[in-house]
Amino acid sequence: MIVNIHEAKTNFSKLIARFLEGEKIIIAKNGEPILQFSPVEKTERKLRSTGFFNCEIDMSAFDGPIEEMREYE
């Protein structure tokens, strides 16, 4: 299906629905095709490792009070 830019702007949601149903959608300007809808290739998300230090960190006092903040308690 070839549609002009104005029609594409007016019926964008409908064109997306038709594309998702398998129809080829081409947008034209002054009758000349300028672009077409195409699916986005899904890529597998890479899991990031937690942390970036290669060392041991003592977290036993992580939630402990900060001495400088005692006056605000």
Distance, CA of 1 to CA of 14 (rounded, Å)? 12
Q: Which residue has better confidence, 67 or 35?
A: 35
Contact of 11 with 23, CB cutoff 8 Å: no
Comparing C-alpha atoms, which of 22, 27, 34 is closest to residue 10? 27
Topology given in CATH for the domain delimited by 1-39: YefM-like fold (3.40.1620)
- Domain parsing of the chain, residue ranges: 1-39
pLDDT tens string 1-40: 999 999 999 999 999 999 999 999 999 999 999 999 998 8
Token pair recorded at residue 16: 């997306």
